[in-house]
């Protein structure tokens, strides 16, 4: 066996070992050989998910739910206040219209005399 043949055999063995390693790495790491790009993106996002949450100032669902639970009563009270203020506003609008019609009537009566 010549040194050239030995080098070729070593290169072939290295290529086969690399292909086997790539295949096994893909099956353990969640990489798919049928969809390599999508699986690599998924793996990247899985690895960087916590960093992205911190970087973008996002909130996890658990923290959001605990915030909702702690603020629900306050929000409901505020919504009730808004509803009462809306009804008060409508009542005041109606009273203002009535007062304007009375004022117009009084102005007409005062103008006639």
For the stretch 17-48, pLDDT in tens is 888 877 766 555 565 666 767 777 888 888 88
Model confidence, pTM:
0.39
Is 60 in contact with 53 (CB distance < 8 Å)?
Answer: yes
Tokens for 19, please give them.
Answer: 């292909």
Q: 113: pLDDT confidence band, cut at 50, 70 and 90? A: low
Is 33 in contact with 23 (CB distance < 8 Å)?
Answer: yes
């Amino acid at each position: 066996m010549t040194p050239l043949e030995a080098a070729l055999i070593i290169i072939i063995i290295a290529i086969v070992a690399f292909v086997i390693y790539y295949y096994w790495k893909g099956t353990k790491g969640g990489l798919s050989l049928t969809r390599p790009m999508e699986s690599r993106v998924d793996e990247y996002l899985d690895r960087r998910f916590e960093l992205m949450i911190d970087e973008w100032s996002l909130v996890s669902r658990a923290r959001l739910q605990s915030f909702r639970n702690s603020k629900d009563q306050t929000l409901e009270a505020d919504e009730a206040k808004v509803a009462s203020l809306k009804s008060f506003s409508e009542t005041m609008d109606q009273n203002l219209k009535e007062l304007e019609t009375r004022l117009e009537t009084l102005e007409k009566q005062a103008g006639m005399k």
